[in-house]
């Protein structure tokens, strides 16, 4: 229920940051303006004693986020890939949120396996290890199948995670509504729609049957992708709260020193992870939307291994083409074309000026070219882009939120491996290939052929459909049926009866 009781949850959020001594560090990391800092402290300090204590062995911000629950942990995971936004120190602290959270007892995990699969875990598996990774929503155990002896990964949801997530999402919905009411200017960003979109994505992550299907689909799409592997699900051992996947061994992508020591080319890996994401998004329209360090490993042969398919993104063919044209326009520094694509797609209101929008986009894109990425402040860049979209009345497009958010995360992963990477130079060959195959004459002929196939399929019905449409336009609308007189009499008598009853009750009282 999205009522005022959520104010309590939001107050405890601020109070938890104060009690864990994380408030100052968090505000410093995002370079919050003085007014915002004053408001945050004024609303939080009086209630500091209400904040969650958290694990005192963790750094302050990590301690506060883990104490607040899974939705906050998800947010922290994203920030952990952005040292250029929150600083190296805070980014390092937040990396423990990816796969190093406190696990729950293995006996509970085995009990959940039995509840979900109807057979004791010791019967299904000849061995079942202690947790090898623990994240915000689930933890993973290494096991060996009793029937084949193969090593597998067993993923089990945290107990009570569904209820905890719904509570946090409820507070987010309330906060979004309050923001829209208190700040009319924020409605352009559709905070309520953004939270709804986030909710649909996260709730899908809480059903491991859907994740199994996602892993299967993603694996089928990427079978021919060199240097990229997707572990596949064991269907008869997977259910709503338990999922079993093929085991895949590798070094964590977030451990740069270990990758270098093992002989891997970390700069090439940084470029590769960015290119495979763009390839999946543009070519397939189906991409891994949670590609942080904790969900990526590097095999001994250099292949990138992807895990955790609870959040996957989908974009339709038209949106992919628009996205590719926008990227290509930035790569070629053709800001006029980027602006035109925004207007053609309806992303910017038609009453705005194309030339002015192109000039504003130039101010966003030009700092990127010819400069070492290590010297670019993505925080300032995104801040200015926000100002540009606000100035031109461009509403937030909820269908692209996941794509944009994942692009930010993947860039962060790539930069952690290759600090001086230039995302536009790396993206160019992927985008150019997509445009050649999907926006040239050959693609136009392919689209025309598909259109003719659809028309041919409905060809026999077209004459009847045309006649029906003409008839609807020429024939007068049917008259509504007349209401029988006895119904009016009955309604009148009923009204009189109600008046009499009301009068009698008034006299009695």
| Spatial distance between the Cα atoms of 481 and 469, rounded to a whole number of angstroms | 24
| Spatial distance between the Cα atoms of 325 and 329, rounded to a whole number of angstroms | 6
Query: Which run of H or of E encompasses 97?
Result: helix 96-99
Closest CA to 431 of 290, 322, 295, 288: 322
Residue 190 to residues 28, 176, 318: CA-CA distances in angstroms?
27, 9, 23
**Burial of 191 from C-beta contacts in 10 A (0-12 / 13-18 / 19+):** buried
85-110: buried (b, 16+ CB within 10 Å) or exposed (e) per residue? bbbeebbebbbbbbbebebbebeebb
Residue 343 to residues 265, 337, 358, 395: CA-CA distances in angstroms?
42, 10, 11, 13
Closest CA to 309 of 218, 390, 437: 218
In sequence order, the 6+-apart residues with CB closer than 8 A to the CB of 394 are 188, 342, 347, 348, 349
Active-site annotation holds for 372? no
CA 327 and chain centroid, separation: 20
Residue 435 has which token pair? 């445009």
- Plot region of 149 (φ>0 → left; ψ -120 to 50 → alpha; else → beta): left
Catalytic member of 290, 334, 351, 353 = 290
- Plot region of 498 (φ>0 → left; ψ -120 to 50 → alpha; else → beta): alpha
Residue 132 phi, psi dihedral angles, 5° rounding = -100, -15
What positions carry a catalytic annotation? Answer: 290
């Amino acid at each position: 229920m999205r009522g005022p009781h959520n104010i309590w949850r939001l107050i405890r959020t601020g109070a938890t940051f104060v009690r864990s001594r994380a408030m100052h560090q968090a505000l410093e990391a995002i370079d919050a303006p003085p007014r915002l800092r004053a408001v945050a402290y004024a609303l939080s300090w009086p209630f500091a004693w209400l904040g969650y204590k958290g694990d005192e062995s963790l750094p302050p911000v990590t301690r506060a986020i883990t104490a607040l629950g899974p939705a906050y942990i998800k947010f922290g995971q994203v920030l952990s890939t952005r040292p250029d936004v929150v600083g190296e120190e805070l980014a390092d602290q937040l990396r423990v949120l990816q796969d190093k959270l406190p696990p729950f007892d293995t006996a509970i995990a085995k009990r959940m396996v039995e509840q979900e699969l109807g057979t004791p875990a010791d019967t299904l598996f000849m061995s079942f290890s202690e947790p090898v990774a623990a994240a915000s929503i689930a933890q993973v155990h290494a096991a060996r199948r009793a029937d084949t002896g193969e090593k597998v990964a067993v993923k089990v949801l945290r107990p009570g995670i569904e209820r905890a997530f719904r509570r946090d999402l409820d507070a987010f919905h309330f906060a979004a509504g309050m923001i829209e009411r208190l700040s009319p200017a924020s409605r352009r960003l559709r905070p309520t729609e953004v939270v709804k979109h986030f909710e649909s994505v996260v709730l899908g992550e809480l059903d491991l049957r859907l994740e199994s299907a996602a892993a299967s689909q993603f694996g089928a799409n990427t079978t021919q992708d060199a240097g990229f592997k997707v572990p596949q699900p064991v269907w008869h051992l997977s259910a709503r709260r338990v999922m079993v996947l093929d085991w895949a061994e590798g070094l964590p992508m977030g451990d740069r020193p270990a990758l270098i020591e093992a002989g891997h080319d970390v700069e090439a890996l940084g470029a590769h992870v960015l290119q495979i994401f763009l390839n999946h998004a543009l070519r397939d329209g189906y991409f891994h939307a949670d590609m942080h360090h904790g969900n990526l490993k590097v095999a001994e042969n250099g292949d990138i291994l992807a895990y955790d398919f609870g959040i996957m993104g989908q974009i339709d063919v038209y949106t992919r083409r628009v996205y590719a044209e926008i990227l290509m326009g930035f790569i070629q520094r053709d800001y006029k074309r980027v602006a035109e694509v925004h207007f053609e797609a309806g992303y910017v209101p038609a009453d705005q000026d194309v030339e002015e929008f192109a000039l504003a986009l130039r101010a966003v894109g030009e700092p990127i070219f010819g400069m070492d990425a290590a010297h670019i402040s993505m925080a300032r860049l995104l801040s200015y882009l926000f100002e540009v979209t606000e100035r031109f009345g461009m509403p937030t497009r909820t269908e692209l939120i996941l794509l944009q958010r994942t692009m930010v995360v993947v860039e962060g992963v790539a930069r952690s491996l290759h600090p001086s990477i230039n995302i536009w130079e790396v993206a160019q060959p992927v985008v150019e290939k997509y445009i050649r195959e999907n926006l040239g004459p050959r693609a136009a002929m392919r689209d025309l052929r598909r259109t003719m196939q659809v028309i041919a399929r409905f060809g026999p019905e077209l004459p009847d459909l045309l006649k029906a449409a003409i008839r609807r336009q020429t024939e007068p609308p049917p008259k509504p049926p007349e209401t029988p007189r006895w119904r009016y009499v009955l309604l009148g008598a009923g009204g009189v009866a109600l008046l009499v009853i009301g009068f009698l009750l008034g006299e009695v009282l």
